[in-house]
Structure 1
Amino acid sequence: MNSKNPKDFQSKVLKEMTFTPFTMDNYTIYKNAHRPELGYFIKYAREGYYEFGIGDYTIPNNFTLSFDHNEELMRFGTVYTGETKFKIENNPISSFTPSSFFVVEKMLRGKQTWKKGQHFHGAEITIHKKYFKEIIEPNFPNTINFSDFISNYTYRYLPLEIASIIQTLRSLAESDKLTAIYLESKILEAIALINNEIFSSPENAFTNQLDYGDIKIGKDRYITLTASDVNAIQKAYDILTKEACNPPTIKSLSKMVFLNEQKLKAGFLARYHMTISEYTCSIRMTIAENLLFTTELTVDEISKKVGYSYSGNFVKMFKQIHGKTPLAFRKMRKY
């Protein structure tokens, strides 16, 4: 199979999923009414301008889809569950594991593969270039545009404020309380937050993520990262992503990727704009958020699932990040 644009791509994937569209007041839900165990895909859209999608589904059969897209668009969101296997032309990345992400697509060509039994759960916002051309640029001329980012490069990063917006939108959508005007207000807020990050400092995660030169580690001390070092840091990132709930110590991780601890810590911070412990904590909290919203597990059970031996430490960290306890956070799903 081959798709010629993002809309065609989505249509073909949903067909392979054996999903049928059911149109509601302000969104469409795709599902197989005869096989509810396959899950669902929910889409809110202002056609041609933006979409907000939530997927929680299991692949029924193996399939592969090639794509050759000319349309330019911006996508960002969070993958909670599921590893995506793909090959993009002129891009070495071939898989994507659970984490936040941001990408600007332009002349995208490649192939993606799905395997029977794989489970995917995530939420993302897609903004078409038409929205920037007709809505953003005429009214906010000094705002970010697509040329501010590397095309077809997946930044495995989102400001925490945007990750929080997506979580809120997902919660409202899954309780059938998300309105079109609220969705658009939050999309504009997300654009504003990315804009602030880009223009507040030249040292930001988007414009500096591929700069692997000298890294300052002291007042007058620098270390240089080689291509081999960068690959080792990427491998460490992948290990931490997979083992976030039971991460190796920095000493063990250093041995696993064959990179000394100093370069590992400094290089990781320079590339991902957070420390190793902050990164693993962010994944743990994302998993915890999902469990609080989608299960009836107790706080103690969730704390153990995300790698905390003592629930008190989990509650303390959760409150530090979200400003509220896990139980108070869970109550939000009712509103």
Structure 2
Amino acid sequence: MISNSTKEFQNKVLSKMTFTPFFMGTHTIYKNENKPELGYFIKYSREDYYDFGIGNYTISSNFSLSFDHTEELMRFGTVYTGETKFKIDNNNVSSFSPSSFFTVEKKLKGTQYWEKGKHLHGSEITIYKKYFDEVIKPNFPNTIDFDSFITNYTYSYLPLEIAFIIQQLRSLSESRSLTPIYLESKILECIAIIYNELYFSQENAFTNQLNYGKIKIGKDRYITLTASDANSLKKAYDILTKEACNPPTIKSLSKMVFLNEQKLKAGFLSKYHMTISEYTDSIRMSIAENLLSTTELSVDEISKIIGYNYSSNFVKRFKDVHKKTPLVFRKIKK
């Protein structure tokens, strides 16, 4: 069983849960009247533009559902209870535990799994690209669009203001006083908050939440690189490129790029496939090759230019790299 759209996916899941829709005027409630203990799912919707869903239910049987969605949408909300298990193509994430979340989906493909007896409780807002194309962009052309975000990545984060808005919407729903116009005003407010977060924070939380992969530290320890870490590694790379002949110590470089020494060393090796010393050494050897080929400078002079205190150390290192001494290299190149 494969779902080809978010709406179809949702309907199939609710059917598997034995829920029947009941239209209540401003919203639809899905439930099993014969088994009220299974809970409910409430959906407010402006068709093809956005949805607001509130779920508080228990899974009645084991099932899974595959999906291959071509649509683009933005989803954010909070899972209060329950773990979601899934397998997304080209993504190593396999579960989602209770927390706030934000994601932009595009051409999402994979499979989701449900286990009998598991209880899930949460609320989420879904905004479809059509709403951005037909409502947001024509009226607010300089606000966010879907290209502002990495697609198919779940940020474990929401601005507190949005979390409070979702709580407020849930509360109004419970008192049966959530109106369509009020819901849309709050969805627009959420978009405005996300826009401010992206463009008026020096290092916005969405960017810093990006997962840039795991790196190995020690025998069996792995840590996650954030976007901020990746930026620090790039700064370290640039500093070392510029100062290769007189590189800072690991301790000094760590302070310069605001990254601890352990993560700096492991992250650099993982990202650039060589240690920091191997990288600076490769630049020094490259400079030496150029000077040997284009100048009459002595080996001793060249060794000092590229940062070796003793020419013998330079000769030894050069020979290790080129399998010949600097003088032999010079003769061959001329």
Superposition TM-score tier, normalisation by shorter sequence: 0.5 to 0.7
Partner of 1:66: 66
1:223 aligns with 2:223: no
Change (3 A) 1:124 1:220: closer
CA contact (8 A) 1:202 1:208 kept: no
Residue 226 (structure 1) shift: 6.2
CA contact (8 A) 2:254 2:264 kept: no
Residue 221 (structure 1) shift: 5.2
Q: 1:145-167 deviations in whole A, cap 9, x for unaligned?
A: 00000100000000000000000
Partner of 2:109: 109
Partner of 1:18: 18
Residue 174 (structure 1) shift: 1.6
Aligned residue type for 1:134: E
Alpha-carbon distance in structure 2 between the residues aligned to 1:28 and 1:173: 11
Alpha-carbon distance in structure 1 between the residues aligned to 2:6 and 2:125: 13
Alpha-carbon distance in structure 2 between the residues aligned to 1:221 and 1:166: 35
Partner of 2:293: none
Partner of 2:205: 205
Partner of 1:194: 194
Alpha-carbon distance in structure 1 between the residues aligned to 2:124 and 2:147: 21
Alpha-carbon distance in structure 2 between the residues aligned to 1:182 and 1:217: 50
Alpha-carbon distance in structure 1 between the residues aligned to 2:137 and 2:207: 21
Alpha-carbon distance in structure 2 between the residues aligned to 1:142 and 1:219: 35
Q: Which has the higher contact order (CA 8 A, sep 6+)?
A: 1
CA contact (8 A) 1:43 1:54 kept: yes
Residue 25 (structure 1) shift: 1.4
Change (3 A) 1:12 1:228: farther
Residue 227 (structure 1) shift: 10
Aligned residue type for 2:149: F
Unpaired stretches in structure 2, ≥5 consecutive residues: 211-226, 234-252, 268-334
Partner of 2:271: none
TM-score, structure 1 normalization: 0.66
Superposition map of 1:108-187 within 5 A: 108-187=108-187
Q: 1:26-50 deviations in whole A, cap 9, x for unaligned?
A: 0000000000000000000000000
Q: 1:243-276 deviations in whole A, cap 9, x for unaligned?
A: xxxxxxxxxxxxxxxxxxxxxxxxxxxxxxxxxx
CA contact (8 A) 1:101 1:157 kept: yes
**SS of equivalent to 1:37:** helix
Change (3 A) 1:141 1:35: same
Alpha-carbon distance in structure 2 between the residues aligned to 1:173 and 1:140: 29
**SS of equivalent to 1:107:** strand
Change (3 A) 1:226 1:152: farther
1:41 aligns with 2:38: no
Aligned residue type for 1:6: T
Q: Considering fraction of residues, name the structure with more strand.
A: 2
Alpha-carbon distance in structure 2 between the residues aligned to 1:48 and 1:227: 48
Count of residues in Structure 1 that have an aligned counterpart in Structure 2: 229
Alpha-carbon distance in structure 2 between the residues aligned to 1:59 and 1:161: 31
Q: 1:189-231 deviations in whole A, cap 9, x for unaligned?
A: 00000000100034111123331233898688542536978xx
Change (3 A) 1:42 1:226: farther
Change (3 A) 1:22 1:208: same
Alpha-carbon distance in structure 2 between the residues aligned to 1:167 and 1:226: 40
Unpaired stretches in structure 1, ≥5 consecutive residues: 230-335
Aligned CA-pair RMSD:
1.9
Residue 183 (structure 1) shift: 0.3
Superposition map of 1:226-305 within 5 A: none
CA contact (8 A) 2:157 2:209 kept: no
Alpha-carbon distance in structure 2 between the residues aligned to 1:150 and 1:29: 33
Residue 175 (structure 1) shift: 1.7
Identity, % of aligned pairs? Answer: 66
Change (3 A) 1:223 1:43: same
1:91 aligns with 2:70: no
